[in-house]
Amino acid sequence: MPDIHDNLTVTVIIPAWNAGDDLDRCLAAVLKSDYPLAECIVVDDASTEPSTAEIARRHEVKLVTMDRQGGPGLARNRGASLATGDVLMFTDADVLLHTDAIGKAVAVLEAEPGVAAVFGSYDHHPDHPSYLSRYRNLYHTWNHQLANEEASTFWTGCGVVRRQVFLDLGGFSAEFERPSVEDIELGYRMRAAGHRIRLLKDMQGTHLKQWTFSGMVKTDVYYRGAPWFALLKRHPDVPNDLNLNLGARIATVLAGLILLFLVLLIPGHPASLPLWPWMLVPLGAMAGIIWIQRGFFALMYRCYGTGAALKTVPMQFVFFVCCGLAVPLGYLRYWQDKRAAG
C-alpha cells in the first residue's frame, strides 16, 4: 500500500459471506484508491465456501474470520474493533468503489470537523445486465441524487464515519442478523446524538449484485421494509428524505388503492363493482404514481430506452405495494420489540 496520508488515516472494512469473485473485484478496486489507506480489513462472516478467505489472502489486506455468522453489522463491528485508522470506510463485497470515492469523503471530514459521517450512492452503471438489476440500481441512485445533502441516515454500501464517533455509539446494533437496516439505525443514533451526516452525491461505487424478483420482494417487505418502519416508530422525528419523501408515501397509498380496486372489480363476488366507471379509480391512481415518479421513468428511458421505461411502470407498482405490506409488519415488529423491552 502507498504511504499513509499526513492527515486523516483510513481503514476500509468489508464484511463478506460467500462473496466469491465479487470480493476479488471489490478488493482490486479498493486497493486502487487514489487516497492512501492505513489498512483494509475483510471480515469473513463464517462463510460456508472457502473461496472467500482464499480470495482475501490474494490481496494486501487483513483477514478476520467470525466464529459464527452474525450478519454484516456485527462483522463490521469486529473489523472496527481492530481498525487503526481515524476514519472507517465501509463498503460491501459486491461494490466497486470509484478510485476517488474515499478521497472525496475524507476531504469533507477534513474541511468540516462537525461532520461525523459521509456516504454516497451507486453510480448509473450496474455491472449485471439484467433489467431487474438495472432497475433496482438506478432507483437507488435516483433517490440518493435527489435527497438532501444534510442527511439524517447512513449507508454502508459506500460510507465513512469517524472511528471515535462509531465506537462511542457502540457500532451497529446486534438486533440485525442479516443485511437489513443496521446502517440506517446507526445513522438515526448519530443524528440523535447531535452529529452531522453528509450525503456526497459524487462519491460513488458500481454495484455488482444480480437481483431476482423474489429477492426484491423479500427485501422490500421483510428484510428492509418492515424493520425500517419499526425504526421510524422509534424515531418519529426523522425528516422525510430518500425513500421516505412525501411523494413516495403518497405513491404507496395510491398503490394500495389500485390493489383494492383491482380486487373489487373482479366479477362474481358480493362486493364486486361494475367495471365502468370504477375502473377509472385504479387508472387514475396509476397515473398519479407515474406523475410522482416521472423523473425516475425519464432516467430509465435515458439510460436504457423505451422498453425499460415501460417495464418500470408495473415494477414501481409492485415496489409500492411491498412498501404498503411492510407497514403492518413494521407495526407488529415495533410492538413486539416494545413489549420485549418491558
Boundary residue ending a domain (172, 195, 211): 211
The model scores a pTM over 0.95: no
pLDDT at 4: 43
Using an 8 Å Cβ cutoff, are 43 and 15 in contact? yes
Distance CA 225, CA 232 (A): 11
Q: Is residue 177 part of a domain?
A: yes
What is the pLDDT confidence band of residue 6, given thresholds at 50, 70 and 90?
Answer: low
We report the CATH number of the domain holding residue 55 as: 3.90.550.10
Q: Is residue 233 part of a domain?
A: no
Cα end-to-end distance, the chain, whole Å? 50
Total domains in the fold of the chain: 2
- 138 and 267 housed in the same domain: no
- 251 and 207 housed in the same domain: no
pLDDT surpasses 90 at 200 = yes
Identity of residue 269: H
- 99 and 192 housed in the same domain: yes
State the Rg of the chain over Cα: 21
Q: Which DSSP state fits 35?
A: S
Distance CA 18, CA 182 (A): 20
Range of the domain at 330: 242-340
Q: Is residue 5 part of a domain?
A: no
Task: Provide the grid cell at 173.
Answer: 446494533
Q: Is residue 127 part of a domain?
A: yes
Q: Is 303 exposed, middle or buried (0-12, 13-18, 19+ CB in 10 A)?
A: middle
Q: Is residue 120 part of a domain?
A: yes
pLDDT, tens digit, for every residue of 298-319?
Answer: 999 999 999 999 999 999 999 9
Distance CA 58, CA 156 (A): 24
Distance CA 254, CA 139 (A): 19
Task: Provide the grid cell at 7.
Answer: 492527515
Give the list of residues 6+ apart from residue 136 with CB closer than 8 angstroms, or none.
126, 209, 211, 216
Q: Do the strands 39-44 and 62-65 form a parallel or antiparallel pair, or are they unpaired?
A: parallel
pLDDT, tens digit, for every residue of 135-187?
Answer: 999 999 999 999 999 998 999 999 999 999 999 999 999 888 778 899 999 99
pLDDT at 231: 87
